[in-house]
């Protein structure tokens, strides 16, 4: 069943599992991961992901290593936006495997698992370039934002 809006996209339990995946992923990297869900993007999905990234002030990390997984429920679109600290050190197709993991789950209607697996995979990729440091602090909230 395809959800009709943001509120029916994930259950409260599924949202908690996604937040836990963010916490687990960030245990291994100084990178910061967030998820934003809204009904429609009314624009190119990459452009909208950048707007949301900016609106959420995700650029406020010391290493500019924030990552946003953006989902437009009604448009059946999603995108991943990584800040310039990440994009300066990774190959151009860095996010393709993460996108494929999410997309494969989304195609079968398993939205929660797509996000969980995508977040955990992104965390594994990020730890190569941004390993966790002893003095690491959680710079962004580990929450799902909605628009």
Q: Residue 48: its pLDDT value, please?
A: 96
d(CA 94, CA 129): 11
Beta strands at 32-38 and 144-146: parallel, antiparallel or unpaired: parallel
**Which pTM was predicted?**
0.94
Q: Residue 58: its pLDDT value, please?
A: 95
Q: Residue 27: its pLDDT value, please?
A: 93
Please write the tens of the pLDDT for every residue from 88-100: 988 878 899 999 9
Residue 73, CB-side half-sphere exposure with 13 Å CA sphere: 20
Confidence at 2, pLDDT banded by 50, 70, 90? low
Q: In terms of DSSP H, where are the helices of the chain?
A: 6-9, 12-26, 45-55, 84-87, 96-107, 111-129
Please write the tens of the pLDDT for every residue from 16-45: 999 999 999 999 999 999 999 999 998 899
Please write the tens of the pLDDT for every residue from 104-119: 999 999 999 999 999 9
Enter the DSSP assignment of 1. -
| Averaged pLDDT for residues 60-85 | 94
Dihedral sign (CA 120, 121, 124, 125): negative
Residue 60 in 3-state DSSP? Answer: coil
Confidence at 1, pLDDT banded by 50, 70, 90? low
């Amino acid at each position: 069943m395809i959800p009709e809006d943001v509120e029916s996209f994930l259950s409260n339990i599924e949202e908690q599992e996604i937040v836990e995946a963010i916490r687990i992923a960030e245990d291994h990297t100084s990178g910061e991961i967030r998820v934003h869900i809204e009904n429609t993007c009314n624009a190119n999905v990459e452009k909208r992901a950048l707007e949301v990234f900016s609106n959420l002030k995700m650029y406020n990390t010391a290493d500019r290593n924030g990552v946003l997984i953006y989902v437009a429920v009604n448009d059946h679109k999603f995108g991943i936006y990584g800040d310039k600290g990440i994009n300066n050190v990774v190959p151009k197709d860095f996010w393709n495997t993460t996108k494929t993991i999410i997309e494969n789950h989304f195609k079968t209607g398993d939205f929660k698992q797509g996000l969980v697996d995508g977040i955990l995979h992104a965390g594994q990729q990020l730890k190569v370039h941004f390993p966790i440091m002893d003095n690491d602090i959680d710079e962004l909230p580990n929450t799902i934002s909605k628009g």
